[in-house]
Amino acid sequence: MAKTKPGRRSKLANEGVMGRLKYFSARAVANIRQNVFVNIVTIVTITLALLLISFFLLAFVNLKGLADDWTRRVQITAYFEQELDPQELGALRARIQALPGTAEVVYVGKEEAVKKFRARLKGQESLLDGISAEVLPASIEISLQRGSRDGEAVTTYVTRLKKIPGIGEVQYGEEWVRRFNTFMNFMRIVGALLGGFLLLAVIFIVSNTIKLTIYARKDELELLGLVGATRMFIKAPFLIEGVIQGAAGSSLALIVLAGCYFGFLHNAGNFLSFNPAEMGLSFLPLEYLAAIFLGGIILGFIGSITSLKRFISI
Amino acid sequence: MIQLHNVFMSYQRDATALNGVTLHIPKGDFVFLTGTSGAGKSTLLRLLYGALRPTRGQVLVNGQNVTRLTAAQIPLLRRNIGVVFQDFKLLPHRTVLENVAITLEVLGWGKKDIGKKVYHILKQLGIEHKINATPLRLSGGEQQRVALARALVNDPKILLADEPTGNLDEENKAQILSFFKQCNLRGTTVIIATHDRRLIENSYKKVIVLDKGQVVEVHDGQN
């Protein structure tokens, strides 16, 4: 047997950052090819797990939109201490408009108030027969900006409003705002709990699936260690494999989600009695889609790194 | 080359695998480690390539104190030691080429160089025609040669073998022993753990006898 001295070789082809990266990527692709079934199982698991999260987010985003819509009903009606002339009214409106959180200020005169009242009593307008416009007071209706519509912000706003000279009684449906805020807080807690449990379940399922796939190759990991591979050398292809699985799984989840939304929910009006799209059911914003894709990659990476710890003894 | 100073190794409180072993194996030696099952042969080999750390004592290999090596230094030690495992440890779904190449891939060799070197070593061992076969399709003797090829392909300074002829017929045993001897002639230190008396008697090499974790006899061979 002729002995070849290690020094005779011209160079180490897989040395250097790029050389190693090229080798590890090629190794990862080869591993996927050699273990097609376990890779498909992992990718499908990641896809299903992320689909659960995606549907949860879709529901969350739409409920949030709906809740925002509801808060538009928070309206403040301010009455005057005494009758104001147009000049005083203009000055008052300007002061209210300057209050932080004000979105829109509308003056409702006595005539307008009677009209509105009459509209509310639809079918029983006769009750107002003989009542003149003088009976009802003029008022100012204030809509608030999005961030100022919850409980505390409304109370603070009303306190400031009351300090403006000329403003008398202020009504803003305190009870409704209080109940709505309690409901929203409840929804936030339930959403956070559900989302948290869902995320934990997804992490648990995906990391265990990856653990099983790595367990199936524990002999290879052991052997690599025995022939002198460093930890990095053993781990890198598995980590790249995990990233590829995560990217493939999240891409598939997003494709299925888009398919479900645009193929079914968006066109549901054709076969259902209502059209969810017309009711304001919207698709996930771009940043959510990017987060799901990145989440898949991170899931694959973290799942692989935690599983590898168990099987690498050096 | 290899030195053990008063090495103790216990797996559990009452199970002592090595009990105060002191040994010196010079560079280029050919040594048989023998003894009954449980005498401590495999444990001693595992200490040499850093798969185990002794409970007490010092293990020096190639001038390095194995007991003090960090986890990051162990791979570098192993790159100079070829090991033929009792159960071969071949990857069943990889080809013979891929199984042997793994040793060179770890060292960063390129594909072309690996192909040439693996073919060369397989040819020396007479199994080059099986280069694309998977171990599942090989006989015990052929699998043993693949394991030997993987251990030798990077020309290690030390070759360790744990019961390398355990399941082989006489013809295959003789051939495997001949490969070990050729390897030793080129300067590689060879240590074979075996309880095969016939193999030892036919080789006329140095023999270290272990019993209950202690060195009880050392016979110098006709190296």
A272: which 2 tokens? 């259902």
**Pairing between β-strand B56-61 and β-strand B64-65 as defined by DSSP bridges:** antiparallel
Give the number of other Cβ atoms within 10 Å of residue B206's Cβ. Answer: 20
With an 8 Å Cβ cutoff, are A219 and B91 in contact? yes
- Torsion, CA A105, CA A111, CA A113, CA A115, rounded to 10: -120
Q: What's the pLDDT tens digit per position in B118-145?
A: 999 999 999 999 999 999 999 988 999 9
Instruction: Dump strand ranges (E) for A145-195.
Output: 167-171
Is A33 within 8 Å of chain B by CB? no
Per the document, the length of chain A is 314
With an 8 Å Cβ cutoff, are B155 and A314 in contact? no
B59-73 in b/e form (b: 16+ CB < 10 A) is bbbeeeebbebeeee
Higher pLDDT, A135 or B144: B144
Nearest residue of A to residue B100 by CA position?
A227
CA distances to A70, A84, A272, A281, B121 from A275, rounded to whole Å, are 20, 48, 7, 9, 72
Nearest residue of B to residue A228 by CA position?
B75
The identity of residue B45, as a single letter, is: L
**Distance separating alpha carbons of residues A282 and A142, to the nearest angstrom:** 29
Distance to chain B for A37, nearest Cα, Å: 14
Q: With CA atoms as reference, report the closest residue to A308 among A203, A226, A227, A237.
A: A237
User: Worst-scoring range by mean pLDDT, A66-70, A247-251, B154-158?
Assistant: A66-70
Percent of chain A predicted with pLDDT > 70: 88
Best interface-test mutation with A: which of B113, B146, B182, B188 has the largest number of A CBs within 10 A?
B113
Q: With CA atoms as reference, report the closest residue to B209 among B33, B66, B77.
A: B33
Cross-strand pairs, B182: none
Q: Of the candidates A13, A224, A228, which has its C-beta nearest B113's C-beta?
A: A13
Is A9 within 8 Å of chain B by CB? yes
Q: What's the pLDDT tens digit per position in B176-189?
A: 889 999 999 999 99
pLDDT, residue A184, reads 79
Report residues of chain B scoring pLDDT below 50.
none
Averaged pLDDT score across all residues of chain A: 82
pLDDT, residue B133, reads 95
pLDDT, residue B222, reads 60
Q: What's the pLDDT tens digit per position in A69-128?
A: 777 777 888 888 777 788 888 888 888 888 888 888 888 887 777 777 777 777 776 776
- Three-state DSSP class for A172? coil
Q: Which of the residue ranges A233-237, A275-279, A306-310, B127-131 has the most confident prediction, judged by mean pLDDT?
A: B127-131
- Alpha carbon A195 to its chain centroid, in Å, reads 10
Residue A10 has pLDDT above 50, yes or no: no
pLDDT, residue B13, reads 67
Residue numbers in A near B74 (CB within 8 A): 314
Contact (Cβ atoms closer than 8 angstroms) between residue B106 and residue A233 = yes
With an 8 Å Cβ cutoff, are A226 and B51 in contact? yes
